[in-house]
Amino acid sequence: MSNLNNSTKAQLAERFRRFIDPEYVISDDETLRPYECDGLSMYCEMPMLVVLPETVEQVQEVLRICHREQVPVVARGAGTGLCAGAMPHAEGVVLSLAKFNRILEIDPLARSARVQPGVRNLAISEEAAAFGLYYGPDPSSQIACTIGGNVAENSGGVHCLKYGLTVHNILGVEMVTVEGERVQIGGEGLDSAGMDLLALMTGSEGLLGIVTEVRVKLLPTPERARVVMAGFDNVQTAGDAVGGIIAAGIIPGGLEMMDTHAIQAAEDFARAGYPRDARALLLCEVDGTAEEVQEHIETVETLFAQLGATSVRTSHDEAERALLWKGRKSAFPAVGRISPDYYCMDGTIPRGKLAQVLTEMDRMAERVGLRVANVFHAGDGNLHPLILFDANVPGEFEKTEELGGKILELCVEVGGCITGEHGVGVEKLRQMPVQFSDQELRQFNAIKDAFDPQGTLNPGKGVPTLRRCQEYRSIEANPEAVGA
Amino acid sequence: MSDISQQLREQILQARAGATKLDIRGGASKRFMGREPQGEALEVGRHRGIVSYEPVELVLTARAGTPLEEIVAALDEQGQMLSFEPPCFGGNATLGGTLACNQSGPGRPWGGSVRDQVLGIRLINGLGEELRFGGQVMKNVAGYDVSRLQAGAMGTLGLITEVSLKVLPKPGETLTLVTETSMAEAVRLMNERAGQPKPLSAACWHDGRLYLRLSGARSAVDATVRQWGGELLENDVAFWRELRDQRLGFFDGDAPLWRFSLRSSAEPLPLEGDWLIDWGGAQRWYRGDADRARLDALAAEAGGQVSLFRGGDRSGEVMPAQAPALRLIQQRLKRAFDPDGLFNPGRLYSWM
């Protein structure tokens, strides 16, 4: 860091300490270190400063100062994101919302809750349980991830097909603009007049404003939930079976698929009784009233058997249901045991293309000498290929990253997209020009300008500048030039 | 069944060159909404047809001028439906207009809104650029959600030319329970019952009667009917359709029709006049003399807002006032999409 920057840093820290508890203005390297990355730790950057304001007024003041001084601001929740969306900016301030961790109000009759952005996703459901209610979206990081981060990424989970994403489960947000102004978007009703700014904010990756409060919808906890596990001897048959369930008019609460690598890793780890020899495994959870679950479970069991399942098992109690899910829920750490490292991708594809995509992916992986395990939100087409690699082998991460990029491009090719729920962040900037034209990217940049003309909110994330797109495209066209 | 997007784009480019304003029209079923339309007609009605429909993927894509009835009929053949039950307003409503005006029917609190079910769009912006956002998959978080941003924008950001939607299977069984009760009691009951894990799919109150619709697996619907009690409504499909299309007697006549979008559990508002409560309490229709400032204040207290949906003076503002910061953001967004202000000038707000 240059002397000029050092003096900016000291001055800025000193100004923040005038209105924020000095302990919560972090400027020394040792304390800054934990903030250098989010859940995607391959991407690191030390921030200039980290602040942890405790009131909205303090957030406003931080933004006003940074706006005046044109200092980048990167909002951060729990740092569990998987696209380097919360990676700091070297000359910027990390604005942690960690102190905003209170549930302000639960309205059981209207079935909503008003919460601060740093509240953990799962904490909302835990608090609402007393009223027989819960919050729908359940990303796998729900123990740790915060609702503010969920809004920024439009997080999903395993129940999206039936219960939707974050965008479907929030009623309003309070936001502070880059200029430091506090605005209310949405409210307690189901819609508001004018453009749907709430939808625009959801998934905007901290590029448009800082969310300081969220009103979420709460759902009645289903009376009953049961899960059917089915093994298949090929992926195509399993994919068709998913289609069969949908065609029968059933929308399962959760519908997950795993491939051979994932099944074996999960079984070694969780001992859930998964069929080790299966090429694909489906977990289909049906929830609702006791009568409905009974009716639908029978249909699902029959369909799986008819549609070529080699084994079918249904949970009979909560313990068995939890056990069957345990394998799936521990799939990521389980894969972590069969390989020194893994890299989780997040493409979305039309479900009908699954077999084609998996076959093509295996071919691509084989060509570069890597293995891929797959976990698939089969109900909504969200594929998580886990590329297995060893970071200690020189060049292997680069190879992995390249394969990952190719996989995302394949997803776009078959009519899908480069990210279903993890977001673009820094990680997928290179693939944005694959999914979008220059005109579309220019439109995104114009939206950004409408909120943040100086471009100080989470710069370098989410949407590439056109200059960078041209660079990416010329690299694609002439890959030999890169190594130089 | 034709694709006239090039023709539409040409007209937009000409309008831009000649500084002409454009008035987007699909089926012209919602001309009464918003402020008075201005400009040269940009007719989208002929840009119609279902482009693709994959029942097993639960995704349908259609051109913006496709009548809803055509879409509903195609879905019906496969045992599927538009879960947001959009109003057809006499049969002419189109898919594009439904999204632009964010129109959803009685099932909205449970089946989602049109905005909730949109997966992607094609749009021609004010520069005449043909853009594609979102896609045909359930989850897509790449880039800003421009598709859903259109809901309620009333065409001010560009011409929607194609929409992809999530569709859902039809329920196995649907029944409607009717109970005689007061408005206040109905609001309480609607909300209490919506908090139970039962197959409730619509809740409306009018003229002393509470209507609760149950949809789902037959066994679940039957069991809930036994638990909750009440009279079964005969010909309930017609009732919900007439409510959806605003053809119930309540909607007759020229008196101004106000729409409140509120906290579903809000106590009845202290306003004399005729009320119809839908969306389990979250959408309330009011016909009566009223001072706008008073309505706004009452709506705000109930966590929401009020608009002049139909009738009355449509040269003034009909939508609720926007806070200055939000107004500024929307004006800037308008410029980001339509720098010359071609599309639907003044339709949403006088300042847009």
CATH code for the domain of A135: 3.30.465.10
Which residues in chain A are closer than 8 Å to B303, comparing Cβ atoms?
A: 187-189
Are A444 and B57 in contact (CB < 8 Å)?
no
Are B165 and B211 within one domain? Answer: no
Are B170 and A132 in contact (CB < 8 Å)?
no
Rounded to 5°, angle at Cα A144 from A142 and A150? 60
Across chain A, mean pLDDT equals 94
Are B56 and A243 in contact (CB < 8 Å)?
yes
Other beta carbons less than 10 A from residue A30's beta carbon: 7
pLDDT of A283 higher than 60: yes
Are A189 and B222 in contact (CB < 8 Å)?
no
In Å, what is the CA distance from B38 to each residue of A365, B23, B25, B241, B339?
58, 6, 11, 31, 18
Token pair 């918003």 is found at B34
pLDDT of A197 higher than 80: yes
One-character DSSP codes across B15-26:
HHHTT--EEEES
Across chain B, mean pLDDT equals 96
pLDDT computed for residue A480 by the predictor = 53
The CA distance from A443 to B337, in Å, is 7
Are A351 and A471 within one domain? Answer: yes
Q: What is the average pLDDT across A340-356?
A: 92
- Complex ipTM: 0.98
User: From A250, which residue of chain B is nearest by alpha-carbon distance?
Assistant: B169
Residue % of chain A over a pLDDT of 90: 88
Are B56 and A351 in contact (CB < 8 Å)?
yes
Please give the DSSP secondary-structure letter assigned to residue B350. T
Q: 3-class DSSP state for residue B97?
A: helix
Residue B220 Cα, gap to closest chain A Cα (Å) = 5
pLDDT of A484 higher than 60: no
Residue B318 lies in a domain: no
Residue B162 lies in a domain: yes
pLDDT computed for residue B1 by the predictor = 64
Q: Which of A255-269, A466-480, B154-168, B193-207 has the lowest mean pLDDT?
A: A466-480
Confidence label for B91 from pLDDT (cuts 50, 70 and 90): confident
Q: What is the average pLDDT across B136-147?
A: 94
CATH code for the domain of A26: 3.30.43.10
Domain boundary among A72, A96, A120: A96
Mutate to test the interface with B, among A307, A432, A443 (most CBs of B within 10 A): A443
The CA distance from A256 to A378, in Å, is 5
Q: Which of B181, B193, B113, B124 is nearest to B157 (CA)?
A: B124
- The parent domain of residue B183 ranges over 173-253+255-310
Are B129 and A197 in contact (CB < 8 Å)?
no
Are B17 and B165 within one domain? Answer: yes
pLDDT computed for residue A246 by the predictor = 92
Are A286 and A361 within one domain? Answer: no
Are B188 and B153 within one domain? Answer: no
The string of pLDDT tens digits covering residues A288-330 is 999 999 999 999 999 999 999 999 999 999 999 999 999 998 8
User: From B193, which residue of chain A is nearest by alpha-carbon distance?
Assistant: A109
Are A322 and A346 within one domain? Answer: no
Token pair in block for residue A406: 């190719």
pLDDT of A89 higher than 90: yes
Please give the DSSP secondary-structure letter assigned to residue B313. -
Instruction: Tell me how far the alpha carbon of residue A79 is from its chain's centroid.
Output: 11
The CA distance from B46 to B63, in Å, is 9
Residue A31 Cα, gap to closest chain B Cα (Å) = 32
The CA distance from A284 to A450, in Å, is 43
Are B137 and A295 in contact (CB < 8 Å)?
no
By Cβ distance, the residue of A109, A131, A177 closest to B191 is A109
Token pair in block for residue B230: 């009440």
Residue B73 lies in a domain: yes
Other beta carbons less than 10 A from residue B76's beta carbon: 11
Residue B229 lies in a domain: yes
Give the residue ranges of DSSP H helices in B229-323: 236-244, 292-301
Using DSSP bridges, classify how beta strands A219-220 and A341-344 pair: parallel, antiparallel or unpaired: unpaired
Are B336 and A443 in contact (CB < 8 Å)?
yes
CATH code for the domain of B160: 3.30.465.10
Are the C-beta atoms of B105 and B84 separated by less than 8 Å? yes
**Which of A106-110, A246-250, B90-94 is most confident?**
A106-110
The sign one gets for the Cα dihedral B293, B295, B301, B303 is negative
Residue B160 lies in a domain: yes
Are B33 and B143 within one domain? Answer: yes
Q: Which of B251, B259, B346 is nearest to B296 (CA)?
A: B259
By Cβ distance, the residue of B112, B194, B220 closest to A289 is B220
By Cβ distance, the residue of B129, B130, B325 closest to A177 is B325
pLDDT of A1 higher than 90: no
User: From B348, which residue of chain A is nearest by alpha-carbon distance?
Assistant: A194
Residue % of chain B over a pLDDT of 70: 100
Are B56 and A246 in contact (CB < 8 Å)?
yes
pLDDT of A237 higher than 50: yes
3-state secondary structure chain A: CCHHHHHHHHHHHHHHHCCCCHHHEECCHHHHHHHCCCCCCCCCCCCCEEECCCCHHHHHHHHHHHHHHCCCEEEECCCCCCCCCCCCCCCCEEEECCCCCCEEEEECCCCEEEECCCCEHHHHHHHHHHHCEECCCCCCCCCCCEHHHHHHHCCCCCCHHHHCCHHHCEEEEEEECCCCCEEEEECCCCCCCCCCHHHHHCCCCCCCCEEEEEEEECEECCCEEEEEEEEECCHHHHHHHHHHHHHCCCCCCEEEEEEHHHHHHHHHHHCCCCCCCCCEEEEEEEEECHHHHHHHHHHHHHHHHHCCCCEEEECCCHHHHHHHHHHHHCHHHHHHHHCCEEEECCEECCHHHHHHHHHHHHHHHHHHCCEEEEEEECCCCEEEEEEEECCCCCCHHHHHHHHHHHHHHHHHHCCCECCCCCCCCCCCHHHHHHHCCHHHHHHHHHHHHHHCCCCCECCCCCCCCHHHHHHHHHHHHCHHHHHC
Are the C-beta atoms of A154 and A199 separated by less than 8 Å? no
Are the C-beta atoms of A435 and B144 separated by less than 8 Å? no
Are A31 and A88 within one domain? Answer: yes
Which residues in chain B are closer than 8 Å to A441, comparing Cβ atoms?
A: 143
The string of pLDDT tens digits covering residues A431-474 is 999 999 999 999 999 999 999 999 999 999 999 987 777 777 77
Structural domain total, chain B: 2
Q: What is the average pLDDT across B178-187?
A: 98
The string of pLDDT tens digits covering residues A326-338 is 999 888 889 888 9
Q: What is the average pLDDT across A373-401?
A: 93
Q: What is the CA radius of gyration of chain A?
A: 23
pLDDT computed for residue A245 by the predictor = 94
In Å, what is the CA distance from B40 to each residue of A91, A148, B12, B20?
50, 44, 11, 7
The CA distance from A460 to A243, in Å, is 40
Residue B247 Cα, gap to closest chain A Cα (Å) = 23
Mutate to test the interface with A, among B141, B215, B328 (most CBs of A within 10 A): B141
Which residues in chain A are closer than 8 Å to B220, comparing Cβ atoms?
A: 288-289, 291-292, 295
Are B108 and B193 within one domain? Answer: no
- The parent domain of residue A35 ranges over 3-96
Residue B42 Cα, gap to closest chain A Cα (Å) = 21
Q: Is A132 exposed, middle or buried (0-12, 13-18, 19+ CB in 10 A)?
A: middle
Instruction: Tell me how far the alpha carbon of residue A383 is from its chain's centroid.
Output: 12
Which residues in chain B are closer than 8 Å to A451, comparing Cβ atoms?
A: 329, 332
Token pair 């997007």 is found at B5
Structural domain total, chain A: 4
Are A200 and B149 in contact (CB < 8 Å)?
yes
Are B65 and B83 within one domain? Answer: yes
Are B75 and B182 within one domain? Answer: no
E-strand ranges in chain B read: 22-25, 40-43, 50-54, 59-63, 80-81, 118-124, 130-134, 159-166, 168-169, 173-180, 200-206, 209-216, 231-232, 257-261, 274-278, 283-287, 305-310
Other beta carbons less than 10 A from residue B188's beta carbon: 16
Are B156 and B262 within one domain? Answer: no
Q: Which amino acid is at A327?
A: G
Are B135 and A349 in contact (CB < 8 Å)?
no
Are B108 and B180 within one domain? Answer: no
pLDDT computed for residue A3 by the predictor = 55
Chain A to chain B, count of Cβ pairs less than 8 Å apart? 288
Are A355 and A297 within one domain? Answer: no
Token pair in block for residue A266: 């999960």
What's the half-sphere exposure (Cβ side, CA atoms, 13 Å) at A43?
23
The string of pLDDT tens digits covering residues A112-170 is 999 999 999 999 999 999 999 999 999 989 999 999 999 999 999 889 999 999 999 99
pLDDT computed for residue A483 by the predictor = 36
By Cβ distance, the residue of B55, B216, B307 closest to A193 is B307
By Cβ distance, the residue of B188, B197, B333 closest to A195 is B333
Domain boundary among A275, A303, A334: A334
Are A215 and A233 within one domain? Answer: no
Token pair in block for residue A222: 């289903």
pLDDT of A2 higher than 70: no
Residue B181 Cα, gap to closest chain A Cα (Å) = 19
The string of pLDDT tens digits covering residues A368-380 is 999 999 999 998 8
By Cβ distance, the residue of B151, B171, B265 closest to A196 is B151
Token pair in block for residue A263: 């099944």
The string of pLDDT tens digits covering residues A67-87 is 999 999 999 999 999 999 999
CATH code for the domain of A243: 3.30.70.2190
Which residues in chain A are closer than 8 Å to B198, comparing Cβ atoms?
A: 220, 289
pLDDT of B71 higher than 50: yes
Are A114 and A158 within one domain? Answer: yes
Residue B264 Cα, gap to closest chain A Cα (Å) = 6
Are B226 and B149 within one domain? Answer: no
By Cβ distance, the residue of A165, A202, A289 closest to B197 is A289
Which residues in chain A are closer than 8 Å to B328, comparing Cβ atoms?
A: none
Which residues in chain B are closer than 8 Å to A208, comparing Cβ atoms?
A: 144
Are B141 and A110 in contact (CB < 8 Å)?
no
Are B55 and B128 within one domain? Answer: yes
Residue B342 lies in a domain: no
pLDDT of A482 higher than 70: no
Please give the DSSP secondary-structure letter assigned to residue B152. T
Are B145 and A199 in contact (CB < 8 Å)?
yes
Residue B317 lies in a domain: no
Instruction: Give the list of residues 6+ apart from residue A329 with CB closer than 8 angstroms, or none.
Output: A140
CATH code for the domain of A442: 3.30.70.2740
Residue B85 Cα, gap to closest chain A Cα (Å) = 15
pLDDT computed for residue A481 by the predictor = 46
pLDDT of B133 higher than 60: yes
Residue B324 lies in a domain: no
The CA distance from A444 to B123, in Å, is 13
Are B186 and B306 within one domain? Answer: yes
Are A133 and B195 in contact (CB < 8 Å)?
yes
Token pair 């998996």 is found at A358
User: From B217, which residue of chain A is nearest by alpha-carbon distance?
Assistant: A292
Q: Which amino acid is at A157?
A: G
The CA distance from B343 to B159, in Å, is 8
Output the furthest CA–CA distance in chain A (Å, rounded).
72
pLDDT of A39 higher than 70: yes
Residue % of chain A over a pLDDT of 70: 97
Domain boundary among A36, A64, A96: A96
pLDDT of B101 higher than 70: yes
User: From A427, which residue of chain B is nearest by alpha-carbon distance?
Assistant: B142
